[in-house]
Amino acid sequence: MQLTIIAGDDISSLEVGADIEIEILVSLCKIELVSIADIPLEQLQLTFNGQKIVLNSSDLLKKQLKDFNIKDGDAIHVEKIKQTAKKTIPPINFPTSSTSTGLSSIISNLVKSIKVPTKRPSEDSQDRIMAERIFDSLSEPVRLDFLRANFPELAAAYEANPTDKEAFVTAFYQSKKELARKERLMMDETSEEGQRYVAELIERQNIDFMHNFAMEHMPEAFIPVHMLYIRMKINNCPVIAFIDSGAQTSILSESCAKRCNVLRMVDKRIRVQAVGIGGNQKMLGRFGLSTLLRHKCSIDLVKMVLRFGDGTETPFLSEAEFQREKEAVVLSDIANNEKTG
């Protein structure tokens, strides 16, 4: 599913699966959006569909998008947690006298008011943890597919050696630096390279929009279409014929010619090569099958029939009918082979 990720003024889109963990999603967002790249996970919060979650729990980070009912087309806001309360320095009681005891009291109060911050992992350490988590998740094909689509350099580094974590971490560092460099260039209106990156980003967003539009209004374009087949007979032998209006020449396979007992009629002086979607195949010869053009056939996709010039019609086989007919032909071939053998 396609998600829109928003972090301040930065906007990006990610294509992920519903089973991706929140931790992995945020890690990918930090790669894509420079503005949140250096913020630790525990200081980030996500807002979507009226919900707000703070990333301060390991159990929450392991949850999946579907656990929060996040759907295709949703927008997720990623932002740093706002500090609502400021720590105040305790009041210092200045002594009325300028004695050494009073000065010691002032120094003591100042020392007590200083709050030493807890030690946090360095930026490199945070990046390494993020890279290692992504690396460990790539054993799942769906996540590797996502990485190929959105971060091809990282995917290439992983596929070059799926067991070399250090090489992947190095590639992760380089990818992050490159994204930061592109971000700086895009902010420079005088940079030709930066403007090219802006154009690429706009082009990518347009492609994402068209993809989402097609998914909504023309979903059949993403589903394999069953080909057009009809029942026919050659030499009184049942055959399933594939209708290909783009083929120049009608083709009969050697096995089909044997089954129809017409192999003896093949002119072996002619050698041809069939070139098509299935690849290139050497043909034994050419047999004069009746062509669509000769019989003035028309493909009627409204009635789903093949109509001949004299008005005769034959229906196209449905996918289920095609499978049944194909199995019947195979069984017939086996029976014939047993008889001749």
Q: In this structure, what token pair is assigned to residue 319?
A: 């996918």
Whether residue 146 is found in the same domain as residue 271: no
Select the more confidently predicted residue: 101 or 333.
333
307: pLDDT confidence band, cut at 50, 70 and 90? very high
- Tokens 């992504």, residue? 134
Residue 99 lies in a domain: no
* Count of structural domains within the chain: 2
State whether residue 66 is helix, strand or coil. helix
CB-based contact 220:316 (threshold 8 Å): no
Residue 103 lies in a domain: no
Residue 119 lies in a domain: no
Give the pLDDT score at 314: 93
- 127 backbone dihedrals φ, ψ, rounded to 5°: -65, -40
301: pLDDT confidence band, cut at 50, 70 and 90? very high
Q: What angle do CA 73, 79, 80 make, to 5 degrees?
A: 160
Share of the chain above pLDDT 70, in %: 79
What is the CATH classification number for the domain harbouring 279? 2.40.70.10
Q: In this structure, what token pair is assigned to residue 117?
A: 């911050």
The C-alpha atoms of residue 281 and residue 272 are separated, in whole angstroms, by 9
Whether residue 329 is found in the same domain as residue 238: yes
Tell me which DSSP letter residue 208 carries: H
Give the pLDDT score at 103: 53
Q: Is 45 a residue whose pLDDT tops 70?
A: yes
CB-based contact 315:230 (threshold 8 Å): yes
Q: Is 43 a residue whose pLDDT tops 70?
A: yes
Q: Is 135 a residue whose pLDDT tops 50?
A: yes
Q: Is 46 a residue whose pLDDT tops 80?
A: yes
Give the pLDDT score at 341: 57
* Mean per-residue pLDDT of the chain: 77
CB-based contact 1:17 (threshold 8 Å): yes
Q: Pick from 220, 246, 279: which residue ends a domain?
A: 220
Whether residue 196 is found in the same domain as residue 248: no
Mean pLDDT over 259-283 rounds to 70
Residue 130 lies in a domain: yes
Q: Is 15 a residue whose pLDDT tops 90?
A: no
Whether residue 250 is found in the same domain as residue 200: no
Share of the chain above pLDDT 90, in %: 5
Whether residue 233 is found in the same domain as residue 216: no
Whether residue 183 is found in the same domain as residue 301: no
DSSP3 helix / strand / coil % (the chain, rounded to 5): 45, 20, 35
Q: Is 41 a residue whose pLDDT tops 60?
A: yes
What is the CATH classification number for the domain harbouring 151? 3.10.20.90
300: pLDDT confidence band, cut at 50, 70 and 90? very high
Q: Pick from 163, 189, 220: which residue ends a domain?
A: 220
Ranked by mean pLDDT, the top range of 7-21, 88-102, 104-118 is: 7-21
Task: Establish how many alpha carbons lie within 13 A of residue 192's alpha carbon, considering only the half-sphere containing its beta carbon.
Answer: 0
Whether residue 155 is found in the same domain as residue 280: no
Q: Pick from 185, 220, 255: which residue ends a domain?
A: 220
Whether residue 30 is found in the same domain as residue 174: yes
Give the pLDDT score at 306: 92
105: pLDDT confidence band, cut at 50, 70 and 90? low
Find residue 4's DSSP bridge partners.
13, 75
Task: Establish how many alpha carbons lie within 13 A of residue 148's alpha carbon, considering only the half-sphere containing its beta carbon.
Answer: 9
Give the pLDDT score at 120: 47
273: pLDDT confidence band, cut at 50, 70 and 90? low
Residues in the chain: 341
Give the pLDDT score at 123: 58
Whether residue 135 is found in the same domain as residue 197: yes
With the C-alpha atoms ordered 151, 152, 156, 162, is the resulting torsion angle positive or negative?
A: positive
Closest CA to 23 of 69, 59, 47: 59
Question: What are the start-end ranges of the E strands in 32-190?
Answer: 44-48, 51-54, 75-80
Q: Is 288 a residue whose pLDDT tops 60?
A: no
Please state which of the ranges 21-35, 190-204, 267-281 shows the lowest mean pLDDT.
Answer: 267-281
Tell me which DSSP letter residue 64 carries: B
Q: What angle do CA 9, 20, 70 make, to 5 degrees?
A: 60
Give the pLDDT score at 144: 86
Whether residue 233 is found in the same domain as residue 212: no
Q: Name the amino acid, one letter, at 17.
A: G
State whether residue 270 is helix, strand or coil. coil
Mean pLDDT over 53-82 rounds to 81
Q: In this structure, what token pair is assigned to residue 244?
A: 């290909």
Q: What's the pLDDT tens digit per position in 208-254?
A: 888 888 888 888 788 888 889 998 888 888 888 888 887 777 777 77
The C-alpha atoms of residue 128 and residue 134 are separated, in whole angstroms, by 10
- Tokens 């902010």, residue? 187
Find the domain containing 258 and state its range. Answer: 229-340
pTM for this model (two decimals): 0.44
Give the pLDDT score at 312: 92
The C-alpha atoms of residue 71 and residue 65 are separated, in whole angstroms, by 8
Whether residue 137 is found in the same domain as residue 188: yes
Residue 54 lies in a domain: yes
Whether residue 152 is found in the same domain as residue 276: no
Burial 136-148 (b: 16+ CB within 10 A, else e): ebbeeeebbebbe
Q: Is 44 a residue whose pLDDT tops 80?
A: yes
Residue 68 lies in a domain: yes
Residue 107 lies in a domain: no
Residue 152 lies in a domain: yes
